[in-house]
Chain A
């Protein structure tokens, strides 16, 4: 049955608990930085971005169980393709719109 449903590939309760603890820490850090103004604005923005990126990886690893060895190859390809699309479309949007904004300044 576990083969048929692929739920059986999940590493179990431990994985979710480890993921929860890591995610809690990676959420508490940026919120504390902003709430108590522990660092300068630039440093805080960089810290928020880093904590978010790491937390996305934590969620993919411990909640969605993305694993380079066990996850089917097509699923990984779809994930990386979506990541590439997002990079091009979001990066392109921000580039063009902020360039436009800069050139339209009075």
Chain B
């Protein structure tokens, strides 16, 4: 805004256009990430029968545990939504609060997933046991890695909002991170509907 060469209106318009471009670019990234996950799902479905005499989903999956993970991620999606609304209203304290809640729920999810993975590996059902388990760890692990990166980004957002306030660039980053976070929850619907629920049946 301090740039004297452009009138304030034009400057704001140029900023808005750049942010618009970034939002579209990020959307394209999300779509390609969706294709990656879809193919990991396809691999998993093909490999489900390849248990090599090892444990199957029915032996390994715990529905209560999965339900807990689902709740954490779903509620965290809603709390991120609250942060987005608060950002639109310019309420900095509320944004920080909701983002902290979202990050805490995300950390809870990652911890639950880590416990599940380490429990499986401890009972000899690691990714090296069978094709089924390789596909399982690849699919669910890739999602978990995305959530972990999302948590890191939330922490960076917290620092930026605390240091710079809700300026248009910061708010636009928050908007894109929100897209990412909601997208991960959509992938998780696929994971519990394709991996865990049919696995236990």
Contact A1 B31 (CB under 8 A): no
Considering the chains assembled together, what is the distance between the CA atoms of A76 and B23 in angstroms?
13
Contact partners of A31 in chain B: CB under 8 A: 63, 67, 70, 192, 197
* Residue count of chain A within 8 Å CB distance of chain B: 52
Contact of A6 (CB < 8 Å), options: B42, B49, B175, B189: B175
Measured CB to CB, the closest approach of chain A to B152, in angstroms, equals 21
Give chain B's interface secondary structure class. Answer: helix
Which residue of chain B has its CB nearest to the CB of A31? B67
Which residue of chain B has its CB nearest to the CB of A82? B31
Contact A34 B85 (CB under 8 A): no
Measured CB to CB, the closest approach of chain A to B178, in angstroms, equals 8
Contact B78 A19 (CB under 8 A): yes
Asked if B7 is at the interface of the complex by the 8 Å CB criterion, the answer is no
Contact B168 A13 (CB under 8 A): no
Contact A34 B63 (CB under 8 A): yes
Contact A16 B78 (CB under 8 A): yes
**Subset of 22 A-B contacts with CB under 8 Å:** A2-B88, A7-B174, A12-B85, A17-B78, A23-B74, A27-B67, A34-B200, A35-B63, A56-B190, A63-B78, A63-B182, A63-B185, A72-B24, A79-B31, A82-B31, A86-B38, A89-B35, A89-B38, A89-B42, A90-B39, A97-B46, A98-B46
The 3 A-B residue pairs with the shortest CB-CB distance, nearest first, are A16-B81, A52-B193, A82-B31
